[in-house]
Amino acid sequence: MLQVKKDLCVGCRFCIENCPQEAVSVQFGKAWIDQKRCNRCGICLDVCPQGAIVELAPVSEEELTITVGSLKQKADDLIRRIEKLRPVSSRNDN
């Protein structure tokens, strides 16, 4: 799903002019994407000079848990490596 970050959109209309599905319009000075018309081609993503259009990818709870676990493991590994690089005297101070 493509979504407009309202705080970044300046209403330049580049996305409207380039959308082949005519799925983008302006509401209250900001771009708005009609999800029923959008075919997720991503052209609006490419032409937005503000980076105001983003693609949201749904993630399952299981995928999120696996990713967070992997990141924690990598962080713990980095901390262990850093600790090995510290001089022995400063390791004993903690």
pLDDT band for 57, please (50, 70, 90 cuts): confident
Helix (H) or strand (E) holding 61, with range, is: helix 61-85
| H-type alpha helices, 33-60 | 43-47
Per-residue model confidence (pLDDT) at position 73: 96
Pairwise CA distance, residues 3 & 5, whole Å: 7
Of 8, 1, 6, give the one whose Cα is nearest residue 51: 8
Instruction: Answer whether 17's CB lies under 8 Å from 64's CB.
Output: no
For 2-52, what is each residue's pLDDT tens digit? 999 999 999 999 999 999 999 999 999 999 999 999 999 999 999 999 999
Q: pTM for the complete prediction?
A: 0.61
Instruction: Answer whether 14's CB lies under 8 Å from 52's CB.
Output: no
